[in-house]
Amino acid sequence: MVIIYDFHLSLKQYAKRGKENNFPEVDKCPCCRGKVRLRRHGFFWRNALQRGNQYRIPICRLKCPSCQKTVSLLPDFLIPHFQYTLSAVLEQLRAGLLGKTVGYYQLVQFYRKRFLAQLKQVAMFFRDEGFRGILPKDTKAKAIKLLEMVLALGKATFLRRSTGHFTSNFMAH
């Protein structure tokens, strides 16, 4: 299980602070819904890639004393299971939908395929948020419109608020 959390830091600042980041205390388990304080359960390291820079950053793990399951506190600039940051993925996706290739062609096509597979869920998220406009019938035009809405809302805001609207995670298969 993953909790996406806003540390109010850039990737560079988060990487510089490392394990000294201000990790929040979580008082409710997302797995069992128990109202218990999750305990620190160490860290794991993962890569974060953005605009040609590679960072190795710590991700805090928490463990529920009730159900014994572990939870990861993921910074909101990362997508679960992706090395590229949220902004890098969305920039490449936007360019790919507009017919421009930024970065590796195969990677852009991978992002495009994943995003198109989740169009219905992204649209439902915005419907739940109050969007009542008409979306284009054409899949490509609809994808561009929804991606522009994600960017207008704010990438990290979308990622945090959309948790629970997808069958797994955003951009997951």
pLDDT tens for 101-152 read 777 889 999 999 999 999 999 999 999 999 999 999 999 999 999 999 999 9
pLDDT for 37 equals 95
Q: How far is CA 48 from CA 8, 56, 75, 122, in A?
A: 17, 6, 11, 24
pLDDT for 167 equals 72
The residue-averaged pLDDT of 10-39 equals 94
Enclosing H/E stretch for 89: helix 86-97
SS3 call for 121: helix
Separation of alpha carbons 57 and 172, rounded Å? 21
Lookup: tokens for 109: 């096509």
CA 79 to chain centre: 3
pLDDT for 25 beyond 90 = yes
This prediction's pTM: 0.86
pLDDT for 116 equals 94
CA-closest candidate to residue 146, choices 134, 161, 156:
134
For residues 43 and 61, the answer to whether their CB atoms sit within 8 Å is yes
pLDDT for 18 beyond 90 = yes
For residues 145 and 135, the answer to whether their CB atoms sit within 8 Å is yes
Beta sheet of 2-5, edge-to-edge order: 2-5, 70-75, 53-63, 39-50
Strand ranges (DSSP E) for 2-79? 2-5, 39-50, 53-63, 70-75
